[in-house]
Structure 1
Amino acid sequence: MGLIKGNNFTDDRGTVHFVNDFSMESVVRLYEISPKDTSIIRAWQAHKEECKWFYCTKGSFKVNVVKIDDFDNPSEDLTVNSFELNASHPEVLFIPGGYANGFKAISENSKLMVFSNFGLDASKQDDYRYDTNKWIKNW
């Protein structure tokens, strides 16, 4: 788990946002999430094997990540790692298999691009869901 740092380049033609160290060699699908507002929380979804990469293309998101100790009955007191992704500061958040994630938009009209190393059918077979407030009571 961790952030892959990017950067920006601006000249008289505009700005280029890039994350050159993000290798998409393992990626087999992508999708974009556009929450209807900042009150929406999408949590908690976990995978034993599937990896995800998150990239904010517009606005900003708070992303929380938890290492799962037991997928059938995870502990209530697991450590939550929080990240803020912002479209003006290009970074890709890598979440390997073995973790649960949850997120919410911080600013209105935000968009989050998600990359996965599993196809949809394989992802559904590796999907674990937990209550939104399991590890965080106040998002």
Structure 2
Amino acid sequence: MKRENPEEQDSAWQKIVENYGERAELDAVDDAVEVAIEPEPDLRDDDPAGSSLFDDDAIDEIDRFVPDSPPPIPMPPPDRFLAWLGVFGSPTVLLVFLVLGIGMPPFLGWILVGGFVLGFCYLVFTLPRTPRDPWDDGAVV
């Protein structure tokens, strides 16, 4: 790679600094060039050319995608159902009592808190320790 000597670099930078802020002079452009303007099409045209040859509705009825009906929601085992009920049901009951301003017996409050904690712990500890497929990246299509 060829290096320039420092004097050439300094002079090049000096020219840049001296001309900084000056506008470059461009060739004059003829502003009098006329452009032919086409008239806009009539927007009130109800039947554009060729629309009678192509019927969109017939194609839509033929090519319409109809998905299969979804499978029923599987019911979890009873122990897991109770755990989920504790995790979601306990805070819901506590929130309803709080919003409605109903006094809750302390014993019932402790039962709901215990149901939440036990349900959460059960769900965490019953998680599988290994993935279903060791090479599974988690994407399901």
| TM-score normalised over the length of structure 1 | 0.17
| TM-score normalised over the length of structure 2 | 0.17
Bigger radius of gyration, 1 or 2?
2
Structure with the higher fraction of residues in helix conformation:
2
Structure with the higher fraction of residues in strand conformation:
1
